[in-house]
């Protein structure tokens, strides 16, 4: 039976957004490292930090663009040295995810950030995988890992990283491409993505956040990705919008991140309503929540408060898109969509 969205008052939306089941598809697990945990791990591991206190570190989170964020992001990751550190970081995220009623999360991780400091890739993956297992057992959260290549580094380094990860292939669902977008087009990584596809890995890539629509086209045509991370600049190309809509290519949009990194001046300026109006498969995600002001529910609540043109129907569509775009078996995905339908139907009763 179809959901009668008209029977759900917009005033009921905040509670519904909080309690509805949801998926998160664009979360950098290193970007969930809160200042408090950074200081705890620094003390545990004897790592000296450039900031004297948690408050001083938080005050440094004033970014002018992606690179100014990445500088602090990599400094924060310096405290991650042991398997337990990676477990603790991911487990802290999963506890917040459970509070946000996230039932499925696909975690990005950046092994090159750690192997460059002498941390073995196995240490990284084992710690994160252990947290994924425990999240499933204790919190009922389905979780998988997506290994991301740092695009400011070379393709040869990306290939070496992929090969080093092969002993842990069973713990990884896909590969991605992140870090500085400007000046690093998708075509730079043609060979490593071909290798990943040959291994049966899913492929995603950051494109069209700071980079032009051509980077989205390159990710589609050359890397043959199955999701575009961000993708908000696609509206600059009507032909690309038509293509994305026709193929139902998911866009993992991160509203608070876009404002924090000055992609949009304010949340009220965000183009999410236009993306949905164009028929695009947009989703809402938190990106690097420790740095950008909030986890998934905070992103959803802030976005719907700032954009009154978005209503109950759009809320349902965004959450459903998250499930449809997830890398899980159809039966699992359909079960979550049924639970989402039930949540909205109950609100309409």
- Arithmetic mean of pLDDT, 188-207: 98
Predicted confidence at residue 29, as pLDDT, reads: 98
Predicted confidence at residue 184, as pLDDT, reads: 96
- How far, CA to CA in Å, does 216 sit from each of 110, 139, 164, 168, 208? 21, 35, 28, 29, 6
Predicted confidence at residue 72, as pLDDT, reads: 84
Beta bridge partners of 282: 251
pLDDT at 307 over 90: yes
- Arithmetic mean of pLDDT, 338-343: 98
Task: List active site positions.
Answer: 209
178 assigned binding-site residue: no
Q: Alpha-carbon distance 265 to 31, whole Å?
A: 22
pLDDT at 71 over 90: no
**What is the per-residue DSSP string for 261-301?**
TTSSSSGGG--HHHHHHTT-EEEE--BSHHHHT--HHHHHH
Lowest mean pLDDT among 75-79, 194-198, 250-254: 75-79
171 assigned binding-site residue: no
Per the CB < 8 A criterion, the answer to whether 211 and 181 are in contact is yes
pLDDT tens per residue, range 234-289: 999 999 999 999 999 999 999 999 999 999 999 999 999 999 999 999 999 999 99
pLDDT at 154 over 90: yes
pLDDT at 347 over 90: yes
Q: Alpha-carbon distance 123 to 167, whole Å?
A: 12
Predicted confidence at residue 75, as pLDDT, reads: 80
Which candidate, 233, 312, 323, places its Cα nearest to that of 281?
323
270 assigned binding-site residue: no
| pLDDT confidence tier of residue 170, bands split at 50, 70 and 90 | very high
Predicted confidence at residue 204, as pLDDT, reads: 98
Predicted confidence at residue 195, as pLDDT, reads: 98
pLDDT at 1 over 80: no
| pLDDT confidence tier of residue 74, bands split at 50, 70 and 90 | confident
287 assigned binding-site residue: yes
Backbone φ/ψ region at 300: left (φ over 0), alpha (ψ -120 to 50), beta? alpha
Q: Which residues contact 92 (CB under 8 A, 6 or more apart)?
A: 32, 34, 37
What value does the mean pLDDT of the chain take?
96
Beta bridge partners of 149: 177
26 assigned binding-site residue: yes
CA dihedral for 332, 337, 343, 345, sign (positive or negative): negative
Secondary structure (3-state) at 178: strand
Secondary structure (3-state) at 181: coil
| pLDDT confidence tier of residue 62, bands split at 50, 70 and 90 | confident
| pLDDT confidence tier of residue 63, bands split at 50, 70 and 90 | confident
- Token reading at 113: 């950030």
Predicted confidence at residue 234, as pLDDT, reads: 98
Which candidate, 219, 274, 206, 273, places its Cα nearest to that of 247?
219
First and final C-alpha spacing in the chain: 12
pLDDT at 326 over 90: yes
Domains of the chain, first to last: 21-348 (3.20.20.140)
Q: Residue 339: enclosing H or E segment and its boundaries?
A: helix 330-348
Predicted confidence at residue 59, as pLDDT, reads: 86
Q: Is the pTM of this model over 0.95?
A: yes
């Amino acid at each position: 039976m179809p959901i009668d969205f008209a029977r759900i008052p917009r005033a009921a939306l905040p509670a519904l957004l909080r309690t509805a089941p949801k998926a998160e598809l664009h979360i950098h697990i290193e970007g969930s490292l809160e200042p408090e945990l950074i200081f705890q791990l620094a003390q545990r591991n004897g790592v000296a930090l450039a900031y004297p206190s948690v408050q001083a570190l938080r005050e440094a989170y004033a970014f002018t663009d992606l690179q100014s964020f990445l500088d602090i992001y990599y400094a924060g990751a310096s405290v991650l040295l042991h398997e337990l550190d990676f477990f603790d970081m991911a487990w802290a995220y999963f506890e917040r995810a459970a509070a946000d009623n996230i039932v499925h999360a696909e975690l990005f991780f950046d092994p090159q950030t750690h192997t460059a400091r002498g941390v073995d890739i196995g240490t990284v993956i084992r710690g994160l995988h252990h947290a994924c297992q425990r999240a499933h057992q204790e919190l009922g959260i389905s979780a998988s890992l997506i290994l991301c290549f740092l695009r400011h580094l070379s393709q040869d380094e990306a290939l070496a990283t992929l090969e080093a990860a092969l002993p842990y292939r069973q713990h990884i669902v896909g590969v991605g491409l992140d870090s500085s977008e400007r000046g690093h087009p998708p075509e730079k990584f043609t060979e490593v993505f071909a290798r990943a596809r040959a291994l049966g890995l899913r492929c995603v890539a950051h494109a069209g956040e700071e980079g032009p629509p051509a980077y989205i086209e390159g990710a589609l045509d050359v890397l043959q990705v199955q999701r575009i991370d961000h993708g908000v600049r696609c509206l600059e190309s009507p032909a690309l919008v038509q293509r994305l809509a026709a193929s139902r290519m998911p866009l993992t949009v991160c509203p608070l991140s876009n404002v924090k990194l000055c992609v949009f001046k304010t949340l009220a300026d965000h183009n999410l309503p236009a993306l949905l109006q164009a028929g695009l498969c947009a989703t809402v995600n938190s990106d690097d929540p420790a740095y950008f002001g909030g986890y998934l529910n905070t992103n959803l609540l802030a976005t719907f408060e700032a954009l009154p043109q978005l209503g109950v129907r759009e809320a349902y569509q965004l959450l459903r898109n998250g499930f449809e775009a997830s890398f899980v078996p159809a039966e699992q995905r359909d079960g979550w969509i049924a639970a989402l339908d039930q949540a909205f139907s109950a609100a309409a009763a």
